[in-house]
Chain A
Amino acid sequence: MKKKSLLSVLVAGGILITGCENTEELKKDDKPATEETEPAAQEVDLSTELSSYQEFAFEQMDQFLLETEKFVNLFKAGDIEGAKAAYAPARMYFERSEPIAESFGDLDPRIDGRLADIQEEGKGEEEWSGYHKLEHALWVENKTAGYEGVADQLLADVKELHALVQTVDVTADLMITGAVDLLNEVSTSKITGEEEIYSHTDLYDFKANIEGAEKIFEILRPKLEAKDKELVATLDEKFKAVDDLLAQHATANGGYVSYEELTEDHTKALATAVNQLGEPLSQMGIILE
């Protein structure tokens, strides 16, 4: 779990900050780039926004558990086509709430680890588990037999994640950093097709990451409006630009085309739109000042 931030301490404990006592704590958590001697005297009250986001994360996790269960059942029943169809939509709940879902160090790689990541850590293929292992079974090996244990383990891990998320401390930093992190995820792995190398369903994850960031923006919108109307207008415009581009690759059944169908011009246009969104999105921290 993420370390409690100063804000969560404040919200939870109602501690009044005075003097230099808390300087160390502030530095520990925030790692200011510049030498700072004066801690912020008063933190902005975001308790409404934090609980809204928590609620959102709970909903997403509830759905993620349900959809994973469906996927695992189809998989174990040997229904390859059914499992393939359920795979990407189920994962979207995870991708939307990734800032929270990935805050549990061991679970994230167990559920969402890619073979390349496992190997990079010096582990063998036998230690690989989770969604992407089943993705490999479905799309590359075209079979489910022999992977029932992996499917069971995935469901158990997701159940554990679901339980742990109920205990998470949502902080302002988690939300604000999380929004940018979601976009960074898109920029570094989804746009390159490296997330779903067997199923090529990267655009589902892409969409979900963007929706996750947009949700945070929506929750913070009133606070942002009060601080910088122009930033809100820019963000509206840039989210729309990304959504419009993604819509060009939507299929009739509400899904997305395979990553393999995208040309270099497509991926460049998408990557540019995400970067153009990321820059203003990284300014949301102004509400904390």
Chain B
Amino acid sequence: MTEPIDEKWINKKVSRRDILKLTGVGAAGVAIGATSLGGVIKAMGSDVFEPVADSTRAINKVDFYGKYQSGITTPVQTNIYFASLDVLFTSKKDLQELFQKWTPLVERLMNGELMVDLTTNTRIPTGDTGEAAGMDVANLSITIGVGPSLFDKLGISHLKPAELKDLPHFPKDQLQKEFTGGDICIQACADDPQVAFHAVRNLVRAASGKVEIKWSQAGFNSFPADGGTPRNLFAFKDGTVNPTITDEKDLNKVVWVDKGWLKDGTYLVARKIQMHLETWDRTSLKDQEATFGRYRDSGAPFGKTKEFDDFDVEAKDSKGEYIMPDTSHVHLARKSGARILRRSYSYASGVMSNTGEHDAGLIFISFQKDPAQFTTVQNSLGRLDKMNEYITHRGSAVFACFPGVQKGSYLGEALFNAV
């Protein structure tokens, strides 16, 4: 029934962008025919993509079963629907039942199947809301995590990892409670906005009476025609200095937790960052570039010519000035020494009612084996970051994302087995 892995990958429709992302910079510009794809995957020697019992018929499908949850090292899709939920129950058993209920539903959603098979009784609402019917599954990934508040609500604080706590207050934070915190997160990413939204909508609906949505945010990412790093709404390439998603060794250092019930899981940090587009748009190109420390067009760091050129953050010019300004975003982030896996999306949600400005920005998402990595970067940016003038952090949340699910198991089983 299950096809050999190489065969399956060959038969899958993989876009040019996917290949570029999978193979990293080294392969950029190299034409890869479909027939050689299996070899490419194998040559990378990665076990990130372990299929167990996922549908072999669906095209453009991300696997649900595996060592890790999807949506973390999955090649970045074009759309996200991120939801932070509060639970309405107070017992660990209810939580366990919720995840047991969700597990097969997540599997179905990621296979592009309806939540439940249609019944003949048309006098009740349908079990699946239906708006994704007949659609390609669009590389849907679903990532589930739990927030610090959940452990306190359920009286299981002893199971809460020491690393899982609300982020500290950062300089210039203007957090609003309607975009902050949450007991559970669902991150649905897909190459189609409706497929991503459908997943969250239906999981929340299936958990009616158990959870309520605290806040949510839709986002998008658009990729240049040649693949490569997407640009944020400030028009700068975002995510250049990321660990390579197929470099298992590096991911073990940066992303995957290696102990306790969260082993092979990771911490997700979400920040809703409003970007003041009107202000940015009246800033000279020179100042914009000095804000990032990169050239807008090429994405190259100051003093270099190509996006991925390495740079020495301490390098100075003949006058003794930093080549990369010491108040630039890239300078400060690099100087922190901490690394994180960023997987952010832009958002544009209408107009701010109090100012008439675009309500737009970044739904920043990063994965790390300890939220302290993010804190270190953010503290380094601190008050110095020239970018602060153009952005306001409006929301914040941190979640512990479970390890992947093996066939016969369920989301978060290790948590419930922990004593």
Q: Which of A28-36, A100-108, A146-154 is the contact stretch?
A: A28-36
Give the segment of A72-80, A211-219, A275-283 that binds chain B.
Answer: A275-283
Closest to A278 in B: B208
In this assembly, does A289 line the interface, its C-beta being within 8 Å of a C-beta of chain B? Answer: yes
B134 at interface (Cβ–Cβ under 8 A)?
Answer: no
Q: Is A82 an interface residue (CB 8 A)?
A: no
- Residues in A with CB closer than 8 Å to B176 are none
Is B121 a contact partner of A286 (Cβ separation < 8 A)? yes
Is B123 in the interface zone, CB < 8 Å from A? yes
Q: Is B318 an interface residue (CB 8 A)?
A: no
**B173 is an interface residue with CB less than 8 A from chain A:** no
Q: Which chain B positions have C-beta within 8 A of A288? A: 121, 123
Which residue of chain A has its CB nearest to the CB of B127? A283
A33 and B120 alpha carbons, distance in the complex (Å): 10
Partner of B209, one of A31, A173, A176, A234: A234
B113-126: contact bitstring with A at CB < 8 Å (1 yes, 0 no)?
00000111111111
* A residues in contact with B126, CB < 8 Å: 33
**CB proximity of A181 to chain B, nearest CB, Å:** 13
Residue A272 lies at the interface, judged by CB distance under 8 Å to chain B = yes
Contact B123 A173 (CB under 8 A): yes
Contact of B44 with A by CB under 8 A: no
Q: Does B88 contact A (CB under 8 A)?
A: yes
A285 at the interface (CB under 8 A from B): yes
User: Which B residues are CB-close (under 8 A) to A32?
Assistant: 122
Q: Which residue of chain A is the closest to B124 with respect to CB atoms? A: A285
Residue of A with least CB distance to B208: A279
Interface residues in B184-222 (C-beta closer than 8 Å to A): 205, 208-209, 212
Task: Provide the bound-state CA to CA distance between A31 and B205, in Å.
Answer: 24
| Contact code string A227-239 (vs B, CB < 8 Å = 1, else 0) | 0000000100110
Residues of A within 8 A of B120 (CB): 36, 38, 289
Contacts of B212 in A (CB 8 A): 272, 276
Q: How far is the CA of A279 from the CA of B209 in the complex (A)?
A: 8
**CB-CB contacts below 8 Å: B118-157 with A:** 118-126
Instruction: Give A247-289 as 1s and 0s: 1 = Cβ < 8 Å from B's Cβ atoms.
Output: 0000000000000000000000000100110011011111011
A10 to B95, CA, bound (A): 46
For B364-406 the 0/1 string (1 means CB < 8 A from A) is: 0000000000000000000000000000000000000000000
Separation of A31 and B122 alpha carbons in the complex (Å): 8
**Contact yes or no, A34 B121, CB < 8 A:** no
Nearest Cβ in chain B — how far from A23, in angstroms? Answer: 13
User: Of B88, B118, B123, which contacts A289 at CB under 8 A?
Assistant: B123
Q: Which of A30, A275, A282 contacts B122 (CB 8 A)?
A: A30
Query: Chain B: interface residue count, which band?
Result: 10 to 19
- Give the contacts of B83-121 with A (CB-CB under 8 A): 88, 118-121
Task: Tell me how far the C-beta of B113 lies from the nearest C-beta in chain A, rounded to whole angstroms.
Answer: 16
Closest to A177 in B: B123
Which residues in B have their C-beta under 8 angstroms from that of A280?
A: 208-209
A interface residues, tally (CB under 8 Å): 24
Residue of B nearest to A27 (CB): B122
* Nearest-CB residue, chain B, relative to A288: B123
Q: Is the CB of A286 within 8 A of B124?
A: yes
Residues of B within 8 A of A285 (CB): 121, 123-124
Minimum CB–CB distance from B238 to chain A (whole Å) comes to 34
Question: Considering residues B118, B119, B122, B205, which has the most beta carbons from chain A within 10 angstroms of its beta carbon?
Answer: B122
A289 in contact with B121 (CB, 8 Å)? yes
**Given that A34-B118, A238-B209 are known contacts, is A276 also in contact with B125, CB under 8 Å in the complex?**
no
Picked from A176, A234, A275, the residue with its CB within 8 Å of the CB of B123 is A176
Q: Judging by beta carbons under 8 Å apart, are B124 and A36 in contact?
A: no
B122 touching A34, Cβ below 8 Å: yes
* Pair B125/A282 contact, Cβ less than 8 Å: yes
CB-nearest residue of chain B to A282: B125
For B121, the chain A residues whose CB sits under 8 A away are: 285-286, 288-289
The answer to whether B209 touches A276 (Cβ under 8 A) is yes
Which A residue sits closest to B210, measured CB to CB? A276
CA separation between A270 and B208, bound complex, in Å? 15
Across the two chains, which residue of chain A brings its CB closest to B212?
A272
Residues of chain A lying within 8 A (CB to CB) of residue B118: 34
B residues near A282, Cβ cutoff 8 Å = 124-125
From 166 to 183 in chain A, residues with beta carbon under 8 angstroms from any chain B beta carbon are: 173, 176
In the complex, what's the smallest C-beta–C-beta distance from B346 to chain A, in angstroms? 28
Measured CB to CB, the closest approach of chain B to A131, in angstroms, equals 32
Q: How far is the CA of A237 from the CA of B124 in the complex (A)?
A: 21
Cα of A176 to Cα of B122 in the assembled complex, Å: 12
Q: What's the nearest-Cβ distance from chain B to residue A219, in Å?
A: 16
B residues less than 8 Å from A173 (CB atoms): 123
| Beta-carbon nearest neighbor of A289 in chain B | B121
Specify the chain A residue showing the minimal Cβ separation from B121.
A289
- State which of B122, B125, B205 has its C-beta within 8 Å of the C-beta of A36: B122
User: How many angstroms from the CA of A267 to the CA of B88 in the assembled complex?
Assistant: 17
* Interface positions of B from 303 to 354, Cβ below 8 Å from A: none
Chain B residue nearest to A30 (CB atoms) is: B122
In the bound complex, residues from chain B placing their C-beta under 8 Å from that of A283 are 124-125
CA distance A84 to B118 in the complex (A): 51
Please measure, in the bound complex, the distance between the C-alpha atom of A283 and the C-alpha atom of B88, giving whole angstroms.
21
Q: How far is the CB of A124 from chain B (nearest CB, A)?
A: 32
Give the residue of A30, A276, A284, A286 whose beta carbon is less than 8 angstroms from that of B208: A276
Report the bound CA distance from A275 to B122 in whole Å. 21
Distance from B117 Cβ to chain A, minimum over Cβ atoms (Å): 11
The docked-state distance in angstroms from the alpha carbon of A173 to that of B124 is 10
**A73 to B120 alpha-carbon distance, docked (Å):** 53
Query: Smallest CB-CB separation from A271: which chain B residue?
Result: B212
- The complex places the Cα of A288 from the Cα of B119 at a distance, in Å, of 13
A202, chain B: closest CB distance, angstroms: 22
A30-B123, A280-B208, A285-B121 known, 20 other contacts, Cβ within 8 Å: A31-B122, A32-B122, A33-B122, A36-B122, A234-B209, A272-B212, A276-B88, A276-B209, A276-B212, A279-B205, A279-B208, A282-B124, A283-B125, A284-B124, A285-B123, A286-B121, A288-B121, A289-B120, A289-B121, A289-B123
Q: Report which B residues bind A (CB closer than 8 A).
A: 88, 118-126, 205, 208-209, 212
Considering the complex of A and B, which 3 residue pairs feature the smallest CB-CB distances, nearest first?
A285-B123, A285-B124, A279-B208
* Pairs A–B under 8 Å by Cβ, sample size 5: A33-B126, A238-B209, A283-B125, A285-B123, A288-B123
